[in-house]
Amino acid sequence: MHWKYIIVHHTGAEEENTAQIRNYHRRLGWRDIGYHFVIERDGALVPGRVQCERGAHCVAGGMNTNALGVALIGNFEIRRPHPEQVTALASLLRRLMVEHRIPATGILGHGEVNGAKTACPGRYLDLRSLRHELNSVLNKKA
Ligand SMILES: [Zn+2]
């Protein structure tokens, strides 16, 4: 897979853990959890679907074949993400940007994808600030 974007989601619910999401997605008949990474409430980063497989997280814009999918557990329409979740997200994004040469402009909220009609990842997840903070990641000398 050649990943050009990273799409950030909230799960929209307060699942206990990644295993619960994986079980749910498998019950839908999917091969595995739809996201490539999940960040749990305490900021723990848990691998989801392997990175060499297309995702199942954003049909709009053909993003399942163009974008890695990252989900944070919670509903950020009604609460703020925990600081540990935001810290974990920033460091994951930094790593994936370097690994796949994806610029900060390639980090999108699910609802920012053309044709995606969703509030995901919620009004309280401030992706604009995160993009700003990560803007220089690819410019730094190794
Ligand atoms: Zn989403």
Quick: pLDDT tens for 71-113.
Answer: 999 999 999 999 999 999 999 999 999 999 999 999 999 999 9
Ligand 1 midpoint to CA 69 (Å): 9
> In degrees, to the nearest 5, what angle opens at C-alpha 85 toward C-alphas 123 and 83?
80
CB under 8 Å to 106, separation ≥6 — which residues?
Answer: 4, 5, 6, 97
Quick: pLDDT tens for 27-78.
Answer: 999 999 999 999 999 999 999 999 999 999 999 999 999 999 999 999 999 9
Ligand 1 midpoint to CA 73 (Å): 11
What is the pLDDT confidence band of residue 139, given thresholds at 50, 70 and 90?
A: confident
Could you tell me the end-to-end alpha-carbon distance of the chain, in angstroms, rounded to an integer? Answer: 24
Q: Considering the entire predicted model, what is its pTM?
A: 0.95
| 5: β partners | 67
In the chain, what are the domains? 5-139 (3.40.80.10)
Q: Produce one character per residue of 95-110: b if its CB has 16 or more CB atoms within 10 Å, e if not.
A: ebbeebebebebbbbb
